[in-house]
Structure 1
Amino acid sequence: MSFRALILGAAAGGGLPQWNCGCQNCRLARAGDVPAQSQSSLAVTANGADWAILNASPDIRQQFANSPPLHPTGLRESPVRAVLVTNGDIDHVAGLLTLRETQRYTLFATDGIHDVLAANPIFDALREGVVARQRIALDTPFALVPGLTATIFAVPGKVPLYMEGETVETEMMGEQTVGVELTAGTARAYYIPGCARVTDALRDRIEGAAAVFFDGTLWRDDEMIREGLGEKTGARMGHMSMSEPDGSIAAFEGLDVGRKVFVHMNNTNPVLRPGSDEREAAEAAGWIIGQDGMEIEL
Structure 2
Amino acid sequence: MIVRILGAAAGGGFPQWNCHCRGCEASRSGRATALTQSSIAIRANGGDWFLINASPDVRQQIELMRAHNCFAEQNGRSLPFAGIILTDAEIDHTTGLMLLRESSHPLKIYSSDRVKFALTTGYPLFSTLQNYCGVDWSPLDAAISLASDLEVEAFALSTKPPKYMQNEDRSPDEVWGVGLTIRDLSTGKTLTYAPGLAAIDETMQRRLNASDCIAIDGTFWTDDELPALGVGARSALQMGHLPLSGERGSLRQLEGLTGPRKILVHINNTNPILIPNSPERQAVESQEVEIGCDGLMFDL
State the TM-score, normalized to the length of structure 1: 0.92
The 1:230–1:70 alpha-carbon spacing in structure 2 relative to 1, beyond 3 Å, is farther
Q: How does 1:29-40 map to 2 (within 5 A)?
A: 29-40=27-38
Q: How does 1:112-191 map to 2 (within 5 A)?
A: 112-119=114-121, 120-127=123-130, 130-137=134-141, 140-165=142-167, 174-185=174-185, 186-191=188-193
Partners in 2 of 1:124 and 1:211 — Cα distance? 36
Preserved contact between residue 64 and residue 70 of structure 1 (Cα < 8 Å): no
Q: What is the deviation of 1:114?
A: 0.7
Aligned residue for 2:76, secondary structure, equals: coil
Q: Which runs of 4+ in 1 moved over 4 A?
A: 166-169
How many residues in Structure 1 have an aligned counterpart in Structure 2? 292
Number of the residue aligned with 1:81:
82
Q: How does 1:36-51 map to 2 (within 5 A)?
A: 36-51=34-49
Aligned residue for 2:127, secondary structure, equals: helix
Preserved contact between residue 210 and residue 257 of structure 1 (Cα < 8 Å): yes
Counterpart AA for 1:113:
V
Counterpart AA for 1:36:
A
Cα deviation digits, residues 36-71 of structure 1 (max 9, x gap) = 001100111113440111111011111111112157
Number of the residue aligned with 1:65:
63
Q: What is the deviation of 1:95?
A: 0.6
The 1:49–1:243 alpha-carbon spacing in structure 2 relative to 1, beyond 3 Å, is same
Preserved contact between residue 100 and residue 125 of structure 1 (Cα < 8 Å): no
1:200 aligns with 2:202: yes
Cα deviation digits, residues 225-245 of structure 1 (max 9, x gap) = 222211221011110111111
Aligned residue for 1:77, secondary structure, equals: coil
Cα deviation digits, residues 80-111 of structure 1 (max 9, x gap) = 10101111100011111111113434100011
Q: What is the deviation of 1:77?
A: 2.3
Counterpart AA for 2:43:
T
Q: What is the deviation of 1:269?
A: 0.5
Preserved contact between residue 14 and residue 34 of structure 2 (Cα < 8 Å): yes
Partners in 2 of 1:25 and 1:71 — Cα distance? 37
1:266 aligns with 2:264: no
Alignment gaps of 5+ in structure 1: none
